[in-house]
Amino acid sequence: MSRKHPAVPPDSTDHQRIAESAAAVDGGLLSMRDFHRWFDERRQAIRMDVQRIPFADLKRWGFQPVTGNLVHDSGRFFSVEGVRARYDGQDPVSWSQPIINQPEVGFLGILVKEIDGVLHCLMQAKAEPGNAEGLQLSPTVQATRSNYTGVHEGSAVRYLEYFTDPGKGRALIDVLQSEHGAWFYRKRNRNLVVEAIGDVPEHEDYCWLTLGQIRRLLGITDLVNMDTRTVLACLPLAQAAGRGDGTSGSGPKNGAVAALTASLSQEAPAAHKLPELLRWYNGTRANREVSVEPVPLAAVDHWVREAHEIRHTSGRYFTIVAVSVEAGNREVTGWTQPLLSPRGIGVVAFLAKRINGVLHVLVHAHPEPGYVDVIELGPTVHCVPDNHAHVSPERRPKFLDEVLAARPEQILYDVVQSEEGGRFYRALSRYMVVEADGDPVVPDDYRWMTVGQLITLLQHSNYCNIQTRSLIACLQSVW
């Protein structure tokens, strides 16, 4: 039964309810065993057949004759274009590359309601064409504007009305956030958590889970999708009781639970106060000499178009490929589309350190050509190691070797997760949180921050990139 609550309860009440849901793992509507049984049933029922095809077999997609851009004939959805970027400074670099241009702002939304006095999230079992393992646990709504306005000529997006009609839901969070700045050009989505007003109809592809149960599932390889992770990270500060049972990756070690818990508190003694961090961050953005210019896809240097892919001449970075999709339970049951396919598995990692008993993570003021403001706060390490295998050790990404050489007792979290499967083909990254060995030298474009400080910034747009948001969600899973 849903408990009645005021139309606009105090913020502190919401924080308490979120914390209670985060602490509930065994007391939800479904047990964890029931969830896995349901998910296995949906895995058998929801089938998606994805086949690589040549570009010539794309339907309603084609290369423009002058620009070479790969576009849909409706002019909607997205296009594959080019971008030229230059970063000046001590080690200036310039390059051009293909990039996905999807100017629409979509919805990434989780619907919640109280069941037996505990907030539950309505989660979807959904397959995307780029997913490595097919089915994933997705938000209630995950839709572009082209999807929900019917450009695809398919069925309506289920539960969308709770996110568009204020009379059907009350927003707990609603914030614009960026997507992958290396692969999307200025792409943003509304990240929402909305509490339902009134009854919510049931559907077999959806189930109700507590926040604590979803956090537990973040310890399983490639189960909780990227869109779920980014929405969960934007929730206000909340913490569950520390488990320390090793269910999430390698598990917290040597009293790290207490340091993790302290890291969530806004009252925790931090290495840098938030106003000081904002001054550093804004100064970095203002002083960094960066230029980004959209160019035709045909004008990018060192990229070649072949029958089945667009690739870099070195064989590194990524390719643009085409796929044919057959799906029985989607708004449209069959289509073709381009996808971006990375070369190799990425590493996305926070280096962590206890300062005055509080866990801090090392963030990087990281530039990407696709960000609206060019620089956002990224993890300590964010790269595909294979792209740097040919360079000398001193030119490899900072702190990469330290993360990869971590001993088991240093590792707080280590799970392979996927990136967005609607635009990327089998894009996987190893998400890690590693306690530093000693006291590393920190360059000026890095800073130690608490998790609580990062979550505070996530109530606003364009501060933390999507890899940071995913790591924040993953890190909270070890409580």
Q: Could you read off the pLDDT of 247-297 as tens digits, one per residue?
A: 344 445 667 778 888 888 777 899 999 999 999 999 999 988 889 999 999
Cα 446 to chain center, whole Å? 21
Least confidently predicted of 245-254, 325-334, 397-406: 245-254
**Per-residue pLDDT, 65:** 97
pLDDT-based confidence at residue 8 (cuts at 50, 70, 90): very low
pLDDT for 241 equals 43
Report the pLDDT value the prediction gives residue 242, as an integer from 0 to 100.
45
pLDDT score of 150:
57
CA distance 375 to 365: 6
* Mean pLDDT of all residues in 426-451: 96
Report, as an integer, the average pLDDT of 160-183.
Answer: 96
CB distance 290 to 88 below 8 Å: yes
Average pLDDT over residues 212-239: 92
Stretch 125-152: mean pLDDT:
85
Evaluate if residue 61 carries a pLDDT over 50: yes
pLDDT at 154 (0 to 100)? 59
Q: Which pLDDT band, with edges at 50, 70 and 90, does 156 fall under?
A: confident
CA of 227: how far to CAs of 58, 157, 189, 449, in Å?
27, 16, 10, 24
pLDDT at 427 over 70: yes
> Exposed, middle or buried by CB within 10 Å (0-12, 13-18, 19+), for 408?
exposed
For the chain, the average pLDDT equals 91
Mean pLDDT across 197-226: 96
Annotate 421-430 with b (16+ C-beta within 10 A) or e (fewer): bbbbbbbbbb
pTM, two decimals, is: 0.92
pLDDT, tens digit (0-9, with 9 covering 90-100), for 351-361 = 999 999 999 99
pLDDT at position 247: 39
Q: What is the dihedral of CA 301, 306, 312, 313, to 10 degrees?
A: -90
How high is the pLDDT of residue 257?
Answer: 76
Q: Is residue 394 pLDDT above 70, yes or no?
A: yes
Residue 329 — pLDDT band, cuts 50, 70, 90?
low
What share of the chain has pLDDT > 70, as a percent? 91
HEC readout, 166-212: CCCEEEEEEEEEECCCCCECCCEEEEEEEEECCCCCCCCCEEEECHH
Lowest mean pLDDT of 16-25, 121-130, 258-267, 466-475, name the range: 258-267
pLDDT higher than threshold 80 for residue 378? yes
Between 57 and 333, where is the model more confident?
57
The percentage of residues in the chain with a pLDDT greater than 90, rounded to a whole number, is: 79
pLDDT of residue 240: 47
Encode burial over 305-335: b for 16+ CB neighbours within 10 A, e otherwise.
Answer: beebbbbbeeeebbbbbbbbbebeebbeeeb
According to the model, what pLDDT value does residue 3 have? 37
Partners of residue 219 on adjacent β-strands: none
Give residue-wise pLDDT tens across range 178-211. 999 999 999 999 999 999 999 999 999 999 999 9
Q: Residue 379: pLDDT above 60?
A: yes
Among the ranges given (8-22, 269-283, 363-377), the one the predictor scored with the smallest mean pLDDT? 8-22
For β-strands 118-127 and 206-209, DSSP reports them as antiparallel
User: Residue 331: which pLDDT band, with cuts at 50, 70 and 90?
Assistant: low
Q: Higher model confidence: residue 190 or residue 144?
A: 190
